[in-house]
């Protein structure tokens, strides 16, 4: 079966750095997505990786290793507004998105 | 800048009742999707459409029907609601395959409770 694993919940301190990991086992691979979802709101797009390596976008970076079936989202200079769930999703060989259950990130002052 | 709009935002149904969720997008996107989101689970695809007049089943289609009579609208119907269909429903759209464009555009969600 297809599976996306990410931690259920993480806690970090304002101003610090946090890394949210995602491992996947899917039928084929056509890209990996990270989305942010604040409570009671819709997911919003953060990043898309299809090749190995690090993609940096402001305070957020996303890394992909296809050989290891592994990605991480790195958040720097954490702000209280970063408190949200972070969803990892992989596009399989049929171009269907398989979603992880999400990681709830709690930021403490 | 409406983007993707879902109606209604909230609804309470009794078991056996029927209802329709409407999704409208003003971005001229070809692809539209209906997902459900339940606690502790990832988003699960119910049905999707790759263009006007087309629909296809996703991962969890049972108990739902859809129609895409107009390119901008994608309707999700529940013919006989069951408590297991209590969930938050999200509509999304993309210009083409998400793998090509890198992003799904989501509506604000519709919270449905079936008693």
Interface size A-B, in CB pairs within 8 Å, comes to: 53
Coil, strand or helix at A88: strand
Condensed to tens digits (0 to 9), the pLDDT of residues A3-59 reads: 999 999 999 999 999 999 999 999 999 999 999 999 999 999 999 999 999 999 999
* Residue range B53-97, pLDDT digits in tens: 999 999 999 999 999 999 999 999 999 999 999 999 999 999 877
Q: How far apart are CA A61 and CA A78, in angstroms?
A: 13
DSSP string, A44-82: EEEEEE-SSEEEEETTEEEEEETTTTEEEEEE-S--GGG
Among B41, B58, B99, select the one facing A91 at the smallest CB separation. B99
Q: How confident is the model at residue B23 (pLDDT cuts 50, 70, 90)?
A: very high
- Give residue A94's pLDDT: 83
pLDDT tens digit string along A56-102? 999 999 999 999 999 999 999 999 999 999 999 999 888 888 999 99
Cis ω for the linkage preceding B8 (within 30 of 0): yes
Contact A50 B106 (CB under 8 A): no
Beta strands in B1-115 (DSSP E): 4-7, 10-13, 19-25, 31-37, 44-49, 56-57, 65-67, 73-78, 87-94, 105-106, 110-114
Q: What residues in B contact A30, CB-CB < 8 Å?
A: 99
Flag whether pLDDT at B99 surpasses 60.
no
* A56 interface with B at CB cutoff 8 Å: no
Closest-CA residue of B relative to A48 is: B102
In chain A, which residue's Cα lies nearest the Cα of B108? A42
């Amino acid at each position: 079966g297809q599976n996306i694993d990410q931690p259920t919940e993480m806690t970090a301190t304002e101003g610090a750095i946090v890394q949210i990991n995602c491992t996947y086992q899917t039928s084929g691979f056509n890209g990996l997505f990270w989305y942010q979802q604040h409570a009671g709101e819709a997911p919003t797009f953060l990043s898309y990786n299809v090749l190995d390596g690090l993609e940096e976008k402001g305070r957020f970076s996303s890394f992909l290793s296809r050989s290891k079936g592994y990605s991480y989202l790195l958040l720097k200079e954490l702000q209280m507004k970063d408190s949200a769930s972070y969803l990892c999703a992989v596009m399989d060989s049929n171009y269907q998105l398989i979603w992880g259950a999400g990681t709830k990130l709690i930021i403490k002052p | 800048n409406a983007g993707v709009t879902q109606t209604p935002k909230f609804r309470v149904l009794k078991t056996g009742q029927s209802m329709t969720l409407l999704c409208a997008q003003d971005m001229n996107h070809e692809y539209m999707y209906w997902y459900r989101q339940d606690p502790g689970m990832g988003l699960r695809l119910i049905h999707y459409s790759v263009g006007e007049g087309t629909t296809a089943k996703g991962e969890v289609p049972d108990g739902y029907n859809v129609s895409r009579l107009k390119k901008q609208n994608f309707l999700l119907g529940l013919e006989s609601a069951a408590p297991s269909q209590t969930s938050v429903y999200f509509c999304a759209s993309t210009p083409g395959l998400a793998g090509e464009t890198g992003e799904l555009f989501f509506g604000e969600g519709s919270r449905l409770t079936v008693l």
